[in-house]
Amino acid sequence: MKVGVVTFPGSNCDYDSYALVRHVMRENVEFLWHKSTDLQSCDLIILPGGFSYGDYLRSGAIARFSPIMESVIKFANSGGLLLGICNGFQMLTECGLLPGALIRNDSIRFRSHNVYLKVEETSSAFTNAYASETVIKLPIAHGDGNYYIIGEELRQLEDDGRVLFRYCDREGNLTKESNPNGSVNNIAGIVNMERNVLGMMPHPERAGEKILGSVDGLKVFESVKAALSTLTTAGKA
Amino acid sequence: MADSLNQPKVTPEIVKQHGLSEEEYDKIKEILGREPNFTELGIFSVMWSEHCSYKNSIALIKTLPRDGEAILAKAGEENAGAVDIGNGQAVVFKIESHNHPSAVEPYQGAATGVGGILRDIFTMGARPIAALNSLRFGQLDNPRVRYLVDGVVRGIGDYGNSFGVPTVAGEVYFDESYTGNPLVNAMAVGIVKTDKIVSAVAKETGSPIMIVGSKTGRDGIHGATFASVEISQESEERRSSVQIGDPFTEKLLLEATLEIIDQDLIVGIQDMGAAGITCSSSEMSAKGECGIEIDIEKVPVREDGMTPYEILLSESQERMLVCVKKGCEEKVSEIFKKWDLEAVIIGQVTDDKLMTIKLDGQIVSQIPSNDLVLGGGAPVYTREIKKPDYIDSAEKLNYDDYKLNIDWNSALLKLLSSPNICHKGWVFDQYDSTVRTNTAVGPGSDAAVMRIRKTRKALAMTTDCNARYCYLNPRMGAISAVCESARNIVCSGGKPLAVTNCLNFGNPYKPDIYYGFSEVIAGMAEACLALDTPVTGGNVSFYNEDPQRAVFPTPVIGMVGLVEDISHITTQTFKDDGDAILLVGENKNELGASEYLHTLFNQTKGKVPALDLDCEKKLQSALLAAIQKGLVKSAHDCSEGGLAVAIAECCISERENMVGASIKISDEIRSDCLLFGETQSRLILSCDSKNENELIAYFTKQGISCKNIGTTGGNKLTINGLVSVDLEKMAEAFYNALPELMEKVA
The long-range contacts involving B688-696, CB below 8 angstroms and separated by at least 24 positions, are B688/B579, B688/B580, B688/B633, B689/B578, B689/B579, B689/B580, B691/B631, B692/B580, B692/B582, B694/B629, B694/B631, B695/B582, B695/B626, B695/B631, B695/B632, B696/B582
Residue closest to A39 by CA, chosen among A15, A62, A6 = A6
Over the stretch B518-560, which tens digit does the pLDDT of each residue have? 999 999 999 999 999 999 999 999 999 999 999 999 999 999 9
pLDDT of residue B273: 81
- The DSSP call for residue A157 is H
Q: Any catalytic annotation for residue A142?
A: no
Q: How many domains does chain A have?
A: 1
Band of residue A214 on the pLDDT scale cut at 50, 70, 90: very high
Q: Compute φ and ψ for A91, nearest 5 degrees.
A: -65, -40
What mean pLDDT, rounded, does chain B reach? 95
Candidate list B18, B51, B568, B636, residue with the active-site label:
B51
Q: How far apart are CA B616 and CA B614, in angstroms?
A: 5
Which DSSP letter does residue A23 get?
A: I
- Chain B residues within 8 A of A141 when measuring between CB atoms: 161, 432-435
What is the average per-residue pLDDT within B713-725? 97
Contact A10 B162 (CB under 8 A): yes
Whether A16 and B440 lie within 8 Å, measured CB to CB: no
B120-177 tens-digit pLDDT: 999 999 999 999 999 999 999 999 999 999 999 999 999 999 999 999 999 999 999 9
Nearest chain B residue to A210 by CA distance is: B440
The catalytic residue among A13, A86, A95, A168 is: A86
pLDDT the model gives residue B238: 66
- Say if residue A88's pLDDT is above 70: yes
Residue A151 pLDDT > 90, yes or no?
yes
Strands B495-504 and B167-174: unpaired
For residues B507-512, give the mean pLDDT: 96
Residue B250 has pLDDT above 80, yes or no: yes
pLDDT at B707: 97
B247 interface with A at CB cutoff 8 Å: yes
Could you tell me if B41 and B15 are in contact, meaning their C-beta atoms sit under 8 angstroms apart? yes
Q: Among all residues of chain B, which has the CA nearest to that of A208? A: B437
Contact yes or no for B161 and A170 at CB 8 A? no
Looking at residue B544, its amino acid is N
Q: What are phi and psi of B334, to 5 degrees?
A: -60, -45
Average pLDDT score over chain A? 96
Residue pair B441/B535 in contact (Cβ under 8 Å)? The answer is no
Which of B156, B253, B337, B434 to mutate: most A Cβ within 10 Å? B434
Does B3 score more than 60 pLDDT?
no
Least confident range from A40-44, B229-233, B610-614: namely B229-233
Mean pLDDT of B22-27: 95
How close is the nearest chain B Cα to the Cα of A230, in Å?
30
Is the pLDDT reported for residue A68 higher than 50? yes
Q: Which residue of B has its CA nearest to A86?
A: B435
All residues of chain B having their beta carbon less than 8 Å from the beta carbon of residue A111 are 429-430
B158 reaches A (C-beta below 8 A): yes
Q: List CB contacts (< 8 A) between A104 and chain B.
A: none
CB contact under 8 A, B247 and A16: no
Per-residue pLDDT at B275: 84
CB contact under 8 A, B430 and A112: yes
CB-CB neighbours of B577 under 10 Å? 12
Higher pLDDT, A232 or B304: B304
* Residue A66: half-sphere exposure toward Cβ, Cα within 13 Å: 29
The pTM of the full predicted model, rounded to 2 decimals, is 0.96
Strands (E), B431-529: 439-441, 448-451, 458-464, 495-504
pLDDT band at B224 (very low <50, low <70, confident <90, very high): low
Candidate from B247, B439, B656 with C-beta closest to A170:
B656
Which residues from chain A sit within 8 angstroms of residue B127, using beta carbons? none
Cβ separation B440–A113 shorter than 8 A: no
Residue B176, judged by CB atoms within 10 A of its CB (0-12, 13-18, 19+), counts as middle
- In this structure, are residues B40 and B34 in contact, taking their beta carbons and an 8 Å threshold? no
Residue A70 confidence (pLDDT) above 60: yes
- Residue B742 CB partners (closer than 8 Å, separation 6+): B140, B146, B149, B150, B426
Torsion of CA B77, B199, B158, A91, to 10 degrees: -170
Per-residue pLDDT averaged across B378-406, rounded? 95
CB B37 within 8 A of CB B365: yes
Confidence of residue A237 (pLDDT cuts 50, 70, 90): very low
Q: Which residue of B has its CA nearest to A142?
A: B432
Taking an 8 Å cut-off on Cβ atoms, the answer to whether B432 and A209 are in contact is: no
Task: Tell me phi and psi for residue B146, to 5 degrees.
Answer: -65, -35
Rounded to the nearest 5 percent, the helix, strand and coil shares of chain B are: 40, 25, 40
Q: Tell me, what's the pLDDT at A235?
A: 54
pLDDT of residue B8: 87
Residue in chain A nearest B443 by alpha carbon: A113
Between CA B4 and CA B13, with CA B10 as vertex, the angle to 5 degrees is: 150
Pairing outcome for strands A197-200 and A111-119? unpaired
Q: Where does the pLDDT of residue B746 fall: very low under 50, low under 70, confident under 90, or very high at 90 and above?
A: very low
* Strand (E) or helix (H) holding B267: strand B266-271
CB atoms within 10 A of CB B720: 18
Give the span between the Cα atoms of B105 and B244, in whole angstroms. Answer: 10
How many helices (H) and strands (E) would you count in chain A? 5, 11
The rounded distance, in Å, linking the Cα atoms of B744 and B173 is 19
Inspect the interface and report whether the beta carbons of B162 and A208 lie closer than 8 Å: no
Measured between CB atoms, which of B430, B436, B439 is closest to A110?
B430
Judge contact between B580 and B689, C-beta under 8 A.
Answer: yes
What is the average pLDDT across A19-38?
97
CB B561 within 8 A of CB B494: yes
Is residue B438 within 8 Å of B457, Cβ to Cβ? no
Does residue A186 or residue A235 have the better pLDDT?
A186
Higher pLDDT pick, B73 / B660 = B660
Beta strands in chain A (DSSP E): 2-7, 28-33, 44-47, 81-85, 101-103, 111-119, 135-142, 146-148, 163-168, 187-191, 197-200
SS3 at position B120: helix
Angle ∠(B416,B419,B425) on CA atoms, nearest 5: 85
**pLDDT tens figures, B437-487:** 999 999 999 999 999 999 999 999 999 999 999 999 999 999 999 999 999
- Three-state SS string over B124-163 comes to CCCEEEEEEEEEEECCCCCHHHHHHHHHHHHHHHHHHHHH
Of A12, A109, A170, Cβ closest to residue B430? A109
**Full domain range(s) for residue A147:** 2-236
- Among positive and negative, which fits the CA dihedral B634, B638, B639, B643? positive
Give B685-698 pLDDT, tens digit per residue: 999 999 999 999 99
Question: In angstroms, how far apart are the furthest CA atoms of chain A?
Answer: 53
Q: Which of residues 312-341 of B touch A (CB under 8 A)?
A: 339-340
pLDDT value at residue B237:
66
The answer to whether A86 is a known catalytic residue is: yes
Whether the CB of B244 is below 8 Å from some CB of chain A: the reply is no
Judged by CB atoms closer than 8 Å, whether chains meet at A112 and B425 is answered as no
Task: Report whether B161 contacts B522 (CB < 8 A).
Answer: no
> Could you confirm whether A205 is annotated as catalytic?
yes
Chain B nearest-CA residue for A105: B430
Among partner residues B154, B158, B429, which is closest to A112 by beta-carbon distance? B429
Share of chain B above pLDDT 70, in %: 97
Distances (CA, A) of B718 to B409, B709, B714: 10, 11, 10
Confidence check: pLDDT of B113 > 90: yes
Contact B369, B287 (CB under 8 A): no
- pLDDT number for residue B77: 84
Tell me what pLDDT residue B743 has: 85
Alpha-carbon gap, residue B526 to B130, rounded angstroms: 28
Q: Is the pLDDT of residue B422 over 70?
A: yes
Nearest beta carbon to residue A15 from set B157, B162, B436: B436
Predicted confidence at residue B219, as pLDDT, reads: 81
Residue of chain A nearest B156, judged by CA positions? A110
Measure the CA–CA gap between B551 and B470, rounded to whole angstroms.
11
Which residues in A lie closer than 8 A to residue B425 (C-beta atoms)? 113
Q: Distance of alpha carbon A66 from its chain centroid, rounded?
A: 19
Q: Where are the alpha helices (DSSP H) in B363-407?
A: 369-372, 390-395
Query: Measured between alpha carbons, how far is B718 from A230 in angstroms, rounded to an integer?
Result: 58
Tell me what pLDDT residue A234 has. Answer: 64
DSSP state string for A204-225: GGGSSBGGGTB-TTHHHHHHHH
CATH number, residue A197: 3.40.50.880
Identify the contact set of chain A against chain B, taking CB-CB distances under 8 A: 9-10, 12-13, 15-16, 19-20, 23, 49-51, 53-56, 109-113, 139, 141, 143, 170, 203, 205-206, 208-209, 211-212
User: N- to C-terminal Cα distance for chain B?
Assistant: 59
